[in-house]
Amino acid sequence: MIVLMDKACMSSRAAALPAARGSYLLVAELGATAWILVGALGRRCFPAGLYLGLRARAGRHLSGRGTARWHIDYLLQRAAVRAVWVREGNRRLECQWAGALARSGAAQSPVLRFGASDCRCASHLWRTELCGGDLEALLRGLPFAPCCAWPEKKTPE
Ligand SMILES: [Zn+2]
C-alpha cells in the first residue's frame, strides 16, 4: 500500500538527509500520465508510474519547493518522492548509474536528455515497472552500491 505524504512532511524529512556531497537517486511516483514543461526541453509526456531520477547533491531541492532549476524539480512538482538512495562522496555516479539502468533492461527513458544536458547519457531519468523487493535489488546492484537514506527501513525482528 502507498501512503501519501503531504508537502510539509516531505520537507521536514528531506531536511534530515545527508547534506554531504554525494550522488542521489530519487524514486518518485507519478500518479497519472502528465504533460510537464521541462525547461528548455519543452512540454514532454510522462506516463504514470515509478521514476528513478539521478543527480548529484539533491539536498535542499528534494521537496520541489521554490523555482524549478533542475529538470528533476519540474517532475517533482507533479510526482511524489517515495524513496531516496544515496552514495556519499565526491565521485559523481549519476552517469554510471544511468548506464547500469540502461543495461539492466528494467528501466526505460521516456524523456531523452532529461537531466543529462552536460553528459552523453540518454537520460538521467528512468521509468521502471519494478517495485518492492525487485526494485530494491536493482538499486542495490548499481555500481558503488547506494543505500536507501529515506525512508528508513524497519527491519523485522
Ligand atoms: Zn550522464
Instruction: Tell me the CA–centroid distance for residue 54 and ligand 1, in Å.
Output: 9
Predicted pLDDT at 90: 85
Closest Cα partner for 142 from 128, 154, 156? Answer: 128
Q: Is 81 exposed, middle or buried (0-12, 13-18, 19+ CB in 10 A)?
A: buried
Predicted pLDDT at 63: 46
DSSP output for 29-75: EESS-EEEE-GGG-EEEE-SEEEEEEEE--GGGTT--SS--SHHHHH
Return the amino acid letter for 121.
Answer: C
Mean pLDDT of all residues in 74-101: 93
Closest Cα partner for 138 from 10, 57, 52? Answer: 52
pLDDT of 70 > 60? The answer is yes
pLDDT of 88 > 70? The answer is yes
Q: Cα(75)–Cα(78) distance, rounded to whole angstroms?
A: 6
Instruction: Tell me the CA–centroid distance for residue 6 and ligand 1, in Å.
Output: 31
Instruction: Tell me the CA–centroid distance for residue 121 and ligand 1, in Å.
Output: 4
Predicted pLDDT at 84: 92
2-18 residue pLDDT tens: 444 444 444 445 545 66
Instruction: Tell me the CA–centroid distance for residue 23 and ligand 1, in Å.
Output: 12
Predicted pLDDT at 135: 97
Mean pLDDT of all residues in 70-75: 90
Predicted pLDDT at 21: 79
